[in-house]
Chain A
Amino acid sequence: MNSINRRRFIGTTAASAAAIAWHNPLFAAPEAVGDGPWDIVAVRNGDPVALFEAGIAALGGMETFVSKGQKVVIKPNIAWDKPPEIPANTNPDLVAAIVRHCLKAGAGKVIVFDHTCHNWERSYKTSGIAKAVVDAGGVMDPANLESHYQMVDLPKTKLLKSALVHKEMLDCDVFINVPVLKHHGGAKLSLCMKNLMGVVWDRRFFHNSGLDQCIADLCFIPKKPDLNIIDAYRILRKNGPQGRAKEDGELAQYQMLGRDMVALDAAAAKLFGMKPEELGFIRFAGEMGAGETNLENVKIKRITLEA
């Protein structure tokens, strides 16, 4: 009765394959040529957690970035008092998944903060990030007072010659930058480099001195991101960076991971439908040698999860 016949064999195999393929990047459409290591891993067609798990697996797992006992700082975008459906902030489920993976990889402490534009307590709450992080075992840190920041000199920059930078970020072992892909009235798009404005105290200096150049200068702050994850599960298409209503958001189900902020920003610009060279901060960063602006020189692993 229990013997394996051909029909049963085929059926079981197909079911197992489907089960493995579910969320497993190895069985997804082979959309990359060659082997790793990858500069960028791009994942699409799934919820933020599934996208992240496939993406981080392709980069060798969180253990590649985090060692036992290390202090990790995660910097999502939590700038606005907006719910996740208006994608002005990073997706809370994604942030929670990163926290969990860091802790699983042995991180001693995982700290999350942002220098918000709206009232910080309400932004932390409404974004859903505070609860998600705490539930996942991370710590939400404040960034609302000047006393949380420390003055650092930035010798390699062009305009931002010194800045007050958040102390936790200067003090951490691993720094993970998690922007959300969104439209921006001033910089046109808000991406990896732009997201780093949230570790600096004085933002008016950026706007007053040359926003794009200052954003590019952020590639040279003392603690460079060890990993960047662009959340494009929902993309803010218009009225950025804070968005007005849910209609401004587009459910796109993308995510891009990598170390090179410039290359990631270039890829995200294309995903949004813009040319990288249209963005001043990408141009400036390229000129300063902060990263690769030409995506043809970047090794990209492309993963489409099966629905």
Chain B
Amino acid sequence: MNAGLYRKIRFAVGGGVLGFSTLAFADIGDWIPAQIARVGLWPQFTPSLLGIAHGAGWIAAGCVAVLLLTLLFGRVYCAMLCPLGVLMDLSAWLARRTGKKRKLPYRPGRTWLRVGAVGICAAGLLAGSAVPLGLLDPYSVFGKITSATLRPLLGWANHWISSATGLFHPVDVSPLAWTTAGVAIGLFVLVVASAVLRGRLWCNTVCPVGAVLGMFSKHAWLRLKIADNACVGCSLCERVCPAQCIDFRNRSIDHSRCVMCLDCVTSCKRSGITLQKHGKTAATPVPAASTGRHAKFTIDRRLFLASAVTIPSAVLGAEDTGPQNATRHHKRAVLPPGAKSLAHFQRSCTGCQLCVTNCPDQVLRPSITAHGLAGFLQPYQDFTVAFCSYNCSNCSQVCPTGAIQPLTITERRAVRTGSVRFFQDLCVVETKGTSCGACNEHCPTQAIRMVPWKNHLTIPEIDEDLCVGCGGCEFICPVRPNRAIIVDGLPVHERAKVLPLGQKNTIREIEEEFPF
């Protein structure tokens, strides 16, 4: 294929992926419905790979397609399907346009770092936490950055313009999560700085997807080759290569690191770099100067070894079991409906924040310590901000990893994510002798009923079987500092009792006289 055409496709697809992903994660106004977001993010490698483990069906085919693509043409995913990769190329391009041109000389691959990154992610997964993967995987990093920084900014802008002009309604955006935003800004600075200074450094050192795809791209059907008879050793290709994987002196290209941008092809004045079917041309053996030392010790074996190295799970602190002096108000964080169990959720959620963005009630928030360190930045339900709607299952519909299993609204209503606890001695009705019923008001299932009490008052009575753990009661309870009713997260979700209810109004017979 013509390299110029390929680059046009790369810019178009890359721009599309970056734009779509940005909209999907920064969405403040249901610009991209949950279903569309999920379809658009189909080729994202990591969520799709995790999806396979959870029987996510068609969504899982995304990573297979990416692997096939890599086996055919190399790391095309990195070139144009990875939103973080495209963001890096864009930042580097902007920096080149505005600042000085940086030459990126060839550097030998740091295989140990790449293996280490994959090893840490694998070890995390083996230990039951997808958090390390979530902090290195480019899709999840992109999601964290966009959702935790750009989205609140858009929210503020929306409120400001809305109140200044009255042209449109203000949107609901949850309060800024400072720690998450801090982590996201840190990651953003790291990503942009590395891209400006060193091109695709991230992709070939810490990115686990880059490392895995590199294993396949080494054996790709089509690979870039420097033609011996064309090369005059001008070094143009080496200087433009963002992956720093072209060694012009040896006329060699490290295909495991090549991100298929084809900048080298267009840079070569003699058209000396071309895509060739592997094995057809008389490829001269690559001089061993750079890669020789590791030539036999392949990444595959290293990957296997690294996977076996489990990080002490104590470091990850499997679950926050709570302090020793736990009061009766100590509660476990509530998981989104569809998360099945804390164990399932922690090992499957990369914390991409897509569900947080798509939660219309803004009850989902990234956790800092709520799920323990092994759940860092995985979402939980924050009932101080809002509560989970009985008529919604958006988070489960949008989750690309299967951490939150898809539920219909009917199915969602049969899931108990937490159980209600009522402290009558704190209740307004008991302490002040006035009527309240705020918890009952917000209870969608009448798990909280108001029953007759002293002085014509009514007081809550709990039917735990009906509780779905939505948190409406905890959200609205007016008692402070400790609320009179809370919802304690269930480590393993249960089935809530669903009553068969009549689907018709009763009819009132018209009385002889008006009743007043």
Contact = CB atoms under 8 A, between A and B. Distances in A.
Contacts of B504: 246-247
B437 A246 contact: no
Interface stretch (B8-16, B119-127, B441-449): B441-449
Given A85-B505, A119-B360, A185-B450, A244 B445 contact: yes
Interface string B485-516: 00000000000000001111111101000111
Interface string A218-244: 000000000000000011010101101
A65 B170 CA distance: 31
A121 interface: yes
Interface stretch (A16-24, A89-97, A249-257): A249-257
Contact of B440 (A81, A185, A247, A253): A185
A44 B515 CA distance: 11
A186 interface: yes
A119 B361 contact: yes
A128 B390 CA distance: 18
Contact of B515 (A45, A144, A211, A270): A270
B169 interface: yes
Contacts of B503: 245-247
A118 B389 contact: yes
A242 B172 CA distance: 22
Interface in B424-475: 428, 432, 434-438, 440-442, 444-446, 449-450, 456, 458
Contacts of A122: 360, 389, 391-392
B516 A247 contact: no
B505 A246 contact: yes
B436 A145 contact: no
Contacts of A188: 435, 458
A242 B438 CA distance: 11
A271 interface: yes
Given A117-B441, A186-B441, A302 B434 contact: no
Interface in A151-170: none
B163 interface: yes
A226 to B, nearest CB: 22
A248 B515 CA distance: 21
A137 B133 CA distance: 53
B436 A211 contact: yes
Contacts of A273: 515
A119 B389 contact: yes
Interface stretch (A51-59, A202-210, A285-293): A202-210
Nearest to B432: A210
B435 A187 contact: yes
B440 A186 contact: yes
Contacts of B501: 244-247
Contact of B446 (A239, A266, A270): A239
A145 B159 contact: yes
B442 A117 contact: yes
B68 interface: no
Contacts of A50: none
Contacts of A270: 515-516
Interface string A83-126: 00100000000000000000000000000000001111110001
Interface residues of A, number: 58
B502 A246 contact: yes
Nearest to B30: A121
B479 interface: yes
A280 to B, nearest CB: 6
Given A85-B505, A251-B507, A212 B172 contact: no
Contacts of A42: 514, 516
Contacts of A85: 505
A179 B434 CA distance: 23
A237 B504 CA distance: 13
Contacts of A302: 514
Nearest to A302: B514
B506 A251 contact: yes
A207 B507 contact: no
A299 interface: no
B450 A300 contact: no
Given A44-B514, A122-B360, A251-B505, A205 B478 contact: yes
A213 B436 CA distance: 11
Contacts of A235: 508
A177 B496 CA distance: 38
A138 to B, nearest CB: 15
B352 interface: no
A295 interface: yes
Given A81-B389, A186-B450, A271-B516, A144 B170 contact: yes
B241 to A, nearest CB: 49
B476 interface: yes
Interface string A6-28: 00000000000000000000000
Given A186-B440, A304-B510, A142 B516 contact: no
A253 B516 CA distance: 15
Nearest to B450: A185
Given A122-B391, A250-B506, A252-B508, A204 B446 contact: no
Contacts of A244: 444-446, 501
B506 A249 contact: yes
Contacts of B436: 186, 207-208, 211
Contact of B438 (A207, A212, A251, A266): A207
Given A122-B389, A186-B438, A251-B507, A278 B456 contact: yes
A250 B506 CA distance: 5
A118 B475 CA distance: 12
Given A204-B476, A234-B505, A271-B515, A212 B441 contact: no
Contacts of A118: 389, 391
B365 to A, nearest CB: 16
B321 to A, nearest CB: 32
A297 interface: no
B434 A212 contact: yes
Given A186-B450, A250-B507, A242 B478 contact: no
B447 to A, nearest CB: 11
Contacts of A45: 510
B428 A208 contact: yes
Interface of B: 159, 163, 169-170, 172, 360-361, 389-392, 428, 432, 434-438, 440-442, 444-446, 449-450, 456, 458, 476, 478-480, 501-508, 510, 514-516
9 contacts: A147-B170, A185-B450, A186-B435, A207-B437, A208-B479, A209-B434, A212-B435, A235-B508, A271-B515
Given A81-B391, A208-B480, A212-B434, 5 more contacts: A184-B437, A208-B436, A210-B434, A239-B446, A295-B516
9 tightest A-B contacts by CB?
A186-B437, A247-B502, A245-B501, A208-B478, A185-B440, A204-B478, A185-B437, A185-B450, A270-B516
